Amino acid sequence: MSASAPPGVRAVLTALPAEIVITDPDILPAYAGDQSRLTTRATPAAVVTPRTTGEVSACLATAHRHGVPVVPRGAGSGLSGGANPPTDAIVLSLHRMAAIVETDPANRLIVVQPGVVTGTLRKAAAAVDLYYPPDPGSVEFSTIGGNIATNAGGMCCVKYGVTGDFVLGLEVVLADGRILRTGRRTVKGVAGYDLTHLFVGSEGTLGVVTEAVLRLVPKPRPPHTLVAPFGTLSDAGQAVAGIIGAGITPSMLEILDRTTIRAVDRLTRMGLGDDAALLLIQSDDPHAVDALSEIEQICIKHAASEVYATSDPTEGAMLLEARRLALPALEKLGDWLLDDVSVPRTEIASLMARIERISRRSGLTIGVFGHAGDGNLHPTIIYDAGDPASCDAARTAFDSIVEEALRLGGTVTGEHGVGRLKRQWLATELGSVGVATHYAIKAALDPTGILNPQAVLVDHTADISRRAP
């Protein structure tokens, strides 16, 4: 342990088994932040890698007594700076708590620790002929703890919902080390406040999740897939509105704009064309043929230049590869800053058109892709991280996109979380009473403000007890 470490940090590390403590100066910089861009980051004073709930409890209890900041971390794949520690903080890395504790097919649930990779969880569900729907783009490396912390989504959200829709109960270590169990294993249960979903999406600011009871659903049928290109964003937006308005709920309804289509085509040589927008749609409904036939007619009505449909799962997977490669393709264009906003589904075309204007005004390339079925878009700003002027332009464009989403009745994040990147914008969205209520909850569960300070709430380490409504 470094003699220069603050006394509180030394006290925490002394209280823990040496084998779960990392202070190697060559390793610590790897824990300075997540995958976000344009966020502040710092090398932590130490990293703790607990193996049990008891070790998490011991860490937090001692940190609470000594006022040491603790930042929980999953796989570090976040995109909003939620895992970026402040100076002299301890990073609590949960990657070693990666056990599937129980699989209960009869009750359609699975119990897991937070370090379980999302893709591994989905495979475990499939092994008992069940399905865990949330499928974030980071599914093969993100962990369920991080998914719960940000209430992550994915391409299947339009039908199945986000991570929080599948969380039945949690084991959570509170800021002072006490262990709380929330929720249930039953189909129904309304006893008391819904504490489970208070922690879902809280980004490690209220407690540390050490176990989760998750709901599973029957394995869906092989999906049918449809692809429809459009000559204008407006036509694509009208098609989305028409599909939703007709009462059809596909299992996937994704959109790519022209910039993204071109980038994917350059990467894959798939021959995607040069249309203004591309819709990729799947249905795993028992009546998928009828549903896709109706969707096809809606797309044609709204000027789709052509429509291609297939019932072959292999062909469907190949077609969806274009969507899965959207971000990797845009990454090839330069440094990137990924946004995450949601608007009412009827406003998708309006937001995309406004983003085009922001792109022209900033002089930066901005590709847009995302989940048209639930209005969640991911504008991706391409800039030069080595050029301060380009960085400033990227940040201005990013803020302009968030502002336009709010003007259209939307929200500042659909699935990536607030982290450190969007704290000011969260305050704008919540309003003064909403912010005060958030502070009151934070003060009740973390009165000394040690859990993930500087994340989600603006300046929440400054006398949070006086901010109650």
For residue 112, the cross-strand partners are 100, 212
DSSP string for 307-337 = -EEE--HHHHHHHHHHHHTHHHHHHTTSEEE
pLDDT at 137: 86
pLDDT at 462: 45
pLDDT at 320: 85
Coil vs helix vs strand at 279: strand
**Dist CA 352 CA 350 (whole Å):** 6
Q: Which of 3.40.462.10, 3.40.50.720, 3.40.640.10, 2.20.25.10 would CATH assign to domain 224-407?
A: 3.40.462.10
pLDDT at 459: 67
pLDDT at 458: 86
Secondary structure letter of residue 380 according to DSSP: E
**Dist CA 22 CA 48 (whole Å):** 6
- Helix locations, 72-205, DSSP H: 118-127, 144-150, 157-160, 195-199
**Dist CA 116 CA 120 (whole Å):** 7
pLDDT at 2: 59
Return the CATH architecture of domain 7-93: 2-Layer Sandwich (3.30)
Close Cβ partners of 383 (under 8 Å, ≥ 6 residues apart): 334, 335, 336, 337, 364, 390, 391, 393, 394
pLDDT at 270: 87
Q: Which residues of the chain have pLDDT under 70?
A: 1-3, 459-469
Coil vs helix vs strand at 200: coil
CATH number of 100-218: 3.30.465.10
pLDDT at 322: 87
pLDDT at 1: 56
pTM: 0.94
Output phi, psi for 224, to 5 deg. -100, 145
Close Cβ partners of 169 (under 8 Å, ≥ 6 residues apart): 181, 182, 183, 184, 185, 196, 212, 213
Q: Are 356 and 362 in contact (CB under 8 A)?
A: no
**Dist CA 195 CA 8 (whole Å):** 30
**Dist CA 243 CA 109 (whole Å):** 32
Residue the block writes with tokens 């204007």: 357
Output phi, psi for 14, to 5 deg. -65, -30
The 10s digit of each residue's pLDDT in 29-62 is: 999 999 999 999 999 999 999 999 999 999 999 9
